[in-house]
Structure 1
């Protein structure tokens, strides 16, 4: 048991996001951490569920990161179930992107969450997110709890994204709850022969879900506000200036994801000069990288 974890009990009047209006709204919730309510300018937040298999493909980390980062700077809240695999990857990406995230548990908040999931739970709380459950604090994670947990995930959210899933699984149950309330259901298409693409492909083939062909289309599909665009012209207002080579490279590469080799082939820049420019652009907030190999120029998260 983790009886030292602080949590509060709330009723329907305090339920976050769209849960109070959902047919799956529980009688009460237990909450640890901070439930996000609005952006700094007062814009109401919108829950986006991102769920999938516990055993995703090797490309899942990058896939989840790009989907979540496409919502960076918006009024989105990333909601998932803290399971290993897709759920955890989406929570982690939200923390990295500076987006609020809510983890919905299939157990009570006073029970222990083991291993990497427990570490992630603490990171979510440290980042200002929330962990919630409808179960009494001491209730362990019984198998039957997960269906109720998935209903809460869907109930919180305006849209649900099935990232990767086998033909049967908990993510497809969440998809069913989403369509039952006539909310937006989205799925990422995958290879015909990929086991973890079987679920999304089946939803798309049946017409139950809309496809996400590129991450940047997600904002429009879920109907949330566009983020404030990064602008070369606005940089001086932040006290940041760029060299002319950095401005030229950003203008040329904006909207794309490139490796250092890609950029060298497209320009006359030498490696040392290129690395200096990339550092300059990263400090300015115009590009990001996770591995110092692939660089995301604004618009290609």
Structure 2
């Protein structure tokens, strides 16, 4: 090997050395090449006896040339944290991945887009409310020039990736497995759309590694680390999306949460984050303002508020036409189930059709 990058790649493929130990090796030996060629006794002083002995056996049999051919065959690229196009936002987090693997658009093609990224995450078991909210936020944020980051899981993740692509925006999926593996397999079609369109699939995990429970928290730190902020649109109190939200707090990232019907278990996650300090948002404009971005300079699409998009929305608007009303009164006059009214009001508020003044609802004029 002659290229220092190849030594970085080689270290990333040994399972006993992560970002922290690799940093120790660089501090001790100066370069990855010198660390790779270091005597066993010298390595033991830095990463311990057991890891050093396992690594010594690994490097004796490893061929980076063969692995590079494997990457080429799988149409996979890699980038190190020492490369010029490595995301600067990731360098700011604790122990960033020192190597990332990717498919689709390379980071040098996403240079400008990486400066304006936002993660959208949530439950795998989304409701109709969660789907619609995610579509609205993703569409408007994509139209505002944001690259949408998520984890390619079922539910909210999938909706955010799909909507970003349909809106002509860019999206990045961060996996908890090798980038040559699509999990869940039901998302294979979406996976293919991302790598063939305006997106990238990335992971710090080597090729062919299948997902495991321990890999997802590490994956989530990349999702939040890549982003200016994390938006949680729907999730239960124990939702994995709360892990991403909490990681964002620890990384000094903005955390946003969409309020949902108080009768839904999938609203408990966002409300829990709001209790911890997340910003309650009902529109993409709320996010832009909190990030200090001028909405006038962006391509934010405004929702038309002349009439409802469904018969039930029209019914709510008719009820509110002459006066503001309390929630219970809207339920009584509409003759709809209270949980249905709660979902409708939340969706209509996000669309800009109505506004909540704390104790009552009115048409947003």
- TM value normalised by structure 2: 0.60
| Contact 1:49–1:79, Cα closer than 8 Å, also in 2 | yes
| Contact 2:153–2:184, Cα closer than 8 Å, also in 1 | no
The match for 2:230 is 160
Which range is displaced more, 112-121 or 131-140? Answer: 112-121
Q: CA deviation at 1:146?
A: 0.4
Partner Cα distance (1:169, 1:134) in 2:
23
| Contact 1:189–1:213, Cα closer than 8 Å, also in 2 | yes
Larger C-alpha radius of gyration, 1 or 2? Answer: 2
Does residue 33 of structure 1 match 2:83?
no
Partner Cα distance (1:178, 1:33) in 2:
26
Does residue 64 of structure 1 match 2:138?
no
The match for 1:105 is 175
Between Structure 1 and Structure 2, the one with more helix by share is 2
Q: CA deviation at 1:166?
A: 0.8
Does residue 81 of structure 1 match 2:131?
no
| Contact 2:147–2:169, Cα closer than 8 Å, also in 1 | yes
Pair 214,32 (structure 1): closer, same or farther in 2 beyond 3 Å? same
Unaligned runs of 5+ in 2: 1-70, 319-350, 354-365
The match for 1:11 is 80
| Contact 1:3–1:111, Cα closer than 8 Å, also in 2 | no
Higher RCO by CA contacts (8 Å cutoff, separation 6 or greater): 1
How many residue pairs are counted as aligned between the two chains?
A: 243
The match for 2:18 is none
Q: CA-to-partner distance for each residue in 1:229-265, whole Å, 9 max, x for gaps?
A: 679xxxxxxxxxxxxxxxxxxxxx8456643875xx9
| Contact 1:70–1:219, Cα closer than 8 Å, also in 2 | no
Partner Cα distance (1:156, 1:205) in 2:
24
Pair 64,216 (structure 1): closer, same or farther in 2 beyond 3 Å? same
Partner Cα distance (1:95, 1:102) in 2:
10
Unaligned runs of 5+ in 1: 232-252, 267-298
Q: Secondary structure at the match of 1:132?
A: strand
Does residue 211 of structure 1 match 2:257?
no
The match for 1:283 is none
| Contact 2:140–2:301, Cα closer than 8 Å, also in 1 | no
Pair 198,3 (structure 1): closer, same or farther in 2 beyond 3 Å? farther
Pair 79,119 (structure 1): closer, same or farther in 2 beyond 3 Å? same
- TM value normalised by structure 1: 0.72
| Contact 1:52–1:165, Cα closer than 8 Å, also in 2 | yes
4+ runs deviating over 6 angstroms: none
Pairwise CA RMSD: 3.0
Pair 115,256 (structure 1): closer, same or farther in 2 beyond 3 Å? farther
Q: Secondary structure at the match of 2:158?
A: helix
Pair 97,211 (structure 1): closer, same or farther in 2 beyond 3 Å? same
Q: CA-to-partner distance for each residue in 1:166-214, whole Å, 9 max, x for gaps?
A: 11121111111100022111101122221111111111123x2010123
Partner Cα distance (1:124, 1:18) in 2:
22
The match for 2:291 is 222
Match for 1:96 among 161, 166, 169?
A: 166
| Contact 2:120–2:149, Cα closer than 8 Å, also in 1 | yes
Match for 1:20 among 91, 94, 101?
A: 91
Which range is displaced more, 181-190 or 215-224? Answer: 215-224
Does residue 117 of structure 1 match 2:210?
no
Q: CA-to-partner distance for each residue in 1:255-298, whole Å, 9 max, x for gaps?
A: 56643875xx99xxxxxxxxxxxxxxxxxxxxxxxxxxxxxxxx
Partner Cα distance (1:9, 1:132) in 2:
9
Q: CA-to-partner distance for each residue in 1:24-52, whole Å, 9 max, x for gaps?
A: 4111100111132226xxxx631101111
Q: Secondary structure at the match of 1:65?
A: helix
| Contact 2:150–2:173, Cα closer than 8 Å, also in 1 | yes
